[in-house]
A and B are shown apart, each in its own frame.
Chain A
Amino acid sequence: MGKTLFERIWDAHVVAQDEGAPAALYIDAHLVHEVTSPQAFATLRERGLSVRRPDKTFATMDHAIPTRLPTSPGEQSPAGQQVKAESGTERGGGSLNSVDMALWPEDAATQVRTLRQNCAEFGITLFDIEGDIQGIVHVIGPELGITQPGMTIVCGDSHTSTHGAFGALAFGIGTSEVGHVLATQCLMQKKPKTFAINIEGALGTGVTAKDIILAIIAKNGAGGGVGHVFEYRGAAIRQMSMASRMTICNMSIEGGARAGLIAPDETTFDYIRGRAYAPTGEAWERAVAHWRTFQTDEDAVFDREMTLDASALAPMVTYGTNPGQGAPVTGRVPKADDLEDEAERRSLQNALAYMGLTEGQPIEGQHVDIVFIGSCTNSRIEDLRAAAAIAKGRRVSAHVEALVVPGSKAVKAQAEAEGLDRIFSEAGFQWRGAGCSMCLAMNDDKAGEGKYVASTSNRNFIGRQGPGSRSLLMSPIMAAAAAVNGRVIDVREIL
């Protein structure tokens, strides 16, 4: 019997496998950010340990940092609080460089300073907010060519699953495990099961990778993939850009999976070629030949399997407080009586009470207060281009506050070179610096109490985007359409 892609990567990384114990799995790349690493470095210090492979460890700052550019001093944040911003600085490339950390909230500044100290002390490459390369860790890893097929990649962040788009086994870990990888470059891991998700057919106009993954999670539930690694396969996947593949793999964790994988192909190799950490010359040829071996054999058997017809999908929107509570924009919020399972009924009723939505109401037409375009799910240049095409020549609805947060400084610079920032600004969107921002509201980007956020991010949990915030997850073009209409609409009506 043949091997799945997952098994092939797994088998190539088992350092030790004692009977009755999980495998000690070797990690090829470890990504580090400011929020989940300080306590791990503290453990190393307490125990007198060093970082085993600083050359395989890369850090950046993304979660806690402000993304407000120093253009609009005294601007009101969505939550209504006065935001500190430096005055008298031109907007443009690298403008975050001039942001004075003294103006940041003290705790964010402390986390960033702590990360700098830790990276300096342990010899780790840091893509600092004061340099040209910085951004959401899952956007810059691929962008720099650090993410490569056949690798194992971890980070103290659940959306590490993003890197699976390259055929790398990539998953989020806790802070203790961050310490384990720093000290030993290994992790104790129980072997997950495999789950093939076949996505056949072609996506219709206005339907995107985000809608595919939201549909999968709506079908299987937020816990549907627990203990499994998804492998996304099929015609729809093969036709997709790397950006779209990353969007899908990114939300594997929302489907409960340990990781998501897509076998590498020419699209993958074309993306990696020429990037900073990509091999060159003869080494490139050897690498590609090696990468091509990371496929699932025809006779391999998955533990579970499902098939989805991409051509039957409509744009998706979540209405609840977990990512499995989603429906097509053409559909309605379910009725509790239609659900057989008591727990699902309770979950729906609690979610709707929090969301202020009613059973059976149409998804289309739902009021929106804030629009957030960004996050590791949907902040790459392709996402911004698609959203800008909707925003172009239109105006953000008068009652809506809309922000666009590029995933990295490189994405931001590219968008500015293409004039996307002007399109957004002219339409009334705020144009921001790179970071996680309102995806998790760790910085000053917080939606206010009771506000509806049309968001391209990945989680609609209670309070996720600010105390009392109500998230409606959707694709970038759906979010842009919601911004200009002030309510959820089917973006296909205005394409």
Chain B
Amino acid sequence: MMQPFTNLTSTALPLRAENVDTDQIIPARYLTAVTQAGMGDGLFSWWRYKRDGSPNPDFVLNQPQYKGAEVLVAGRNFGIGSSREHAVWALTQYGFRAVISPGFADIFYNNSLKNGLLPVRLPEEIVNRLLDLIEEAPQTTISIDLENQTIALPSVSGEQWTARSFDIDPFRRWCLVRGFDELDYLLDKDKQISDFEASATF
């Protein structure tokens, strides 16, 4: 069973980059495994480690003020490129439970939902202000309530940020909240699949 996602309150890590591709999230050399294990170590490998393998202190993931953040905030078009679900495994194994971006690549979005990683689409100007805020004040916490599809952000310079809503497909929300595996849904359709196969002419 997938880990259910209901509510999350956490600090957030700012990744101010657009078009973050799955090769950046997890490079191909980590894809030689035949299990899911060990992906967390490869997360953002090109940026996170120097070529000699030591941590790159300039990269946000290595900065102590963002340690323990379970929310990743990134620029538009997150997760482009390869279909590798390893990218999602890397993020969840590292400890992320939600990614906020103005937009996600389709395959990455689908893969996230199957692993209890919540992809939250918010308008770009909000994501940008959020990035500003957590860069300035890393201790800022973000609260996500999936059942009600709301995200509560602390007030910034007088603005009211609380309970902003975000969109998610109702079926996917239902699966996430219960930790329900889509495979079980499809297995329950056995009769319809057999009927479809029997009626197919091509």
Contacts and interface: CB of A to CB of B under 8 A. Distances in A.
Given A15-B192, A287-B202, A346 B18 contact: yes
A226 B101 CA distance: 14
A180 B18 contact: no
B23 A463 contact: yes
B202 A290 contact: yes
Interface in B157-185: 169-172, 182-183, 185
Contacts of B137: none
Contacts of A461: 21, 23-24, 81
A442 B106 contact: no
Interface residues of A, number: 75
A184 B18 contact: no
A347 interface: yes
A256 B80 contact: yes
Nearest to B27: A463
A462 B21 CA distance: 9
B80 A180 contact: no
B34 A26 contact: no
Given A177-B110, A183-B183, A38 B35 contact: yes
Nearest to A463: B46
Contacts of B169: 22, 190
Interface string A340-352: 0001101100100
Given A15-B193, A343-B18, A188 B107 contact: no
B34 A39 contact: yes
A449 B189 contact: no
A183 B189 CA distance: 12
B32 A227 contact: no
B156 interface: no
Contacts of A256: 77, 80, 105-106
B40 to A, nearest CB: 15
B103 A223 contact: yes
B51 A449 contact: yes
Contacts of B31: 35-36, 63-64, 442
Contacts of A24: 185-186, 189, 192-193
Contact of A186 (B21, B84, B106, B189): B189
Contacts of B197: 26, 185
Given A322-B21, A463-B46, A36 B83 contact: yes
Interface string A350-362: 1000000000000
Nearest to B187: A184
Interface string A27-52: 00000000110110011000101001
Contacts of B36: 39
Interface stretch (A106-114, A119-127, A306-314, A372-380): A106-114
Q: Which of A20, A114, A173, A184 has the most B CB atoms < 10 Å from its CB?
A: A184
A172 B88 CA distance: 15
Contacts of A108: 32
Given A174-B88, A180-B186, A467-B46, A222 B77 contact: yes
A410 B27 CA distance: 30
The 4 closest A-B pairs by CB, nearest first: A107-B32, A223-B77, A174-B85, A174-B111
Given A39-B85, A180-B183, 20 more contacts: A24-B192, A64-B31, A157-B82, A160-B83, A172-B82, A172-B107, A173-B83, A174-B84, A175-B84, A175-B85, A187-B186, A221-B77, A222-B19, A226-B103, A287-B202, A344-B18, A440-B82, A461-B24, A462-B21, A464-B23
6 contacts: A20-B171, A35-B84, A36-B83, A49-B187, A158-B83, A185-B197
Interface of A: 15-16, 18, 20-22, 24, 26, 35-36, 38-39, 42-43, 47, 49, 52, 63-64, 105, 107-108, 110-111, 114, 150, 156-158, 160, 171-177, 179-180, 183-188, 190, 192, 221-223, 226-227, 253, 256, 258, 287, 290, 322, 324, 343-344, 346-347, 350, 440-442, 449, 459, 461-464, 467-468
